[in-house]
Amino acid sequence: MSWAWAPGTWGELIQGESEGRRLLVSLPSSSGSLTQVTIRPRPKGSPMVRGGGEKSRRAVQRLLVLLHEQRLQVHLSVKSTLRPGVGHASSSADVLSALRATCRALSRSIPSPALCWLAAQVEPTNPTLLTGANLFDPDRGHLLGQGPLPAMRVLPLSCGAAIDTVKARQHRIRWNLPQQGEMIRIMEWMRTALGRGDLRLMAKAATRSALMHAERTERTDILRAWERARSERALGIAVSHSGSSIVGIYPPNFRNDAHV
C-alpha cells in the first residue's frame, strides 16, 4: 500500500494562446488530493484499475501499460480538499496523486514532468506536481519553462457556482492577432518578474491576464473582484480561466481583518 498527495491551484497567474497553442502558469494552492493505492494480482477478465474517478482510472491504466504491468490490479482511494468545478485543478490533483501513488507502490521512479505529460493524455492538465511557477502547455503536457515563485499572500475574493469544466473547454474563444500580441507581452512580464523575484510585476502580469479573460468572456465578476482587491491594497488578482475562482495577490506580510 502506498499513498501520494498532489496540490491543486487557485487558478492561473496567466493563461492564453501563442502560435496556436495554449499556455498557462498556475498559482499553486495548499489544498489538494490524497490518493491511497493498493496493488494485487489482477483476476482474469477484470479491469486493471478500480476505485477513484474515471480520469484517474484512465491515467493509471495508461501508466500500467507503459510499464508493462498489465497483470496487476490497482485499487484507488482518493480524498480531496478541493472544491470541484471552480477551476482549482481538482481533476489534475486527483489524477496526478493517483499516478504518483501508483509509481510508489510499484517502486518505479518517474519524473514529475513525465507524470504531468501522462495526465495530459487523459485531459488538459495543470502541472500541480511541479513546484514553483511553470510555463506549461496543458493540452500537450509540455513543460516550457520553470522558476521559483516570490513570497506572497493569496486571499480568496470570489468563487461562484461550479461549472462543467470539460464542457466549458469545448467552447474555446478564438484569439485574434492583437490579443496574441498582448499575451506575448504578458508572458515577457511574467518571465522578467520570476527571474527577478519581482512580486509587483508578477501581479501586474496576472492582473492583465485576468482582465483580458474578462474582456474575452464578458465576465463582470472579475471586474468587480479587481475593484475590491484594489480597495484592499492588493498588488493584483489571479483567476481561474476554466471556473469561477478569483483571488487577490498581496505582499507576504499583508494583514486584513476582513479576511481573518
Domains of the chain: 2-137 (3.30.230.10), 150-259 (3.30.70.890)
pLDDT of residue 160: 84
* Residue whose grid cell is 468545478: 85
Q: Given CA atoms 81, 96, 139, 195 in this order, what sign does their dihedral have?
A: positive
Task: Give residue 19's pLDDT band: very low, low, confident or very high (50, 70, 90).
Answer: confident
Interval 178-195 mean pLDDT: 94
Task: Give residue 260's pLDDT band: very low, low, confident or very high (50, 70, 90).
Answer: very low
pLDDT of residue 227: 96
pLDDT at 37 over 60: yes
Among residues 204, 59, 190, which one has the least CA distance to residue 132? 190
pLDDT tens by residue, 138-177: 999 999 999 999 999 999 999 988 876 666 556 678 888 8
Label residue 132 left, alpha or beta by phi (over 0 means left) and psi (-120 to 50 means alpha): left
pLDDT of residue 169: 58
pLDDT of residue 163: 76
pLDDT of residue 258: 53
Looking at residue 17, its amino acid is E
pLDDT of residue 234: 97
What is the pTM for the complete model shown? 0.91
Indicate the average pLDDT of the chain: 93
Output 212-221 pairs: Cβ under 8 A, ≥24 positions apart: 212/16, 212/179, 212/182, 212/183, 212/186, 213/15, 213/239, 213/241, 214/239, 216/173, 216/179, 217/173, 221/158, 221/160, 221/246
pLDDT of residue 255: 80
Interval 117-136 mean pLDDT: 95
Q: How far apart are CA 123 and CA 138, in angstroms?
A: 8
Q: How far apart are CA 82 and CA 85, in angstroms?
A: 9
Helices (H) and strands (E) in the chain, counts: 7, 9
pLDDT at 122 over 80: yes
Q: How far apart are CA 41 and CA 123, in angstroms?
A: 28
- Find residue 146's DSSP bridge partners: 134
pLDDT at 33 over 50: yes
pLDDT tens by residue, 230-244: 999 999 999 999 899
* Residues near 78 by beta carbon (within 8 Å), at least 6 away in sequence: 33, 34, 35, 36, 51, 52, 53, 56, 94, 97, 98
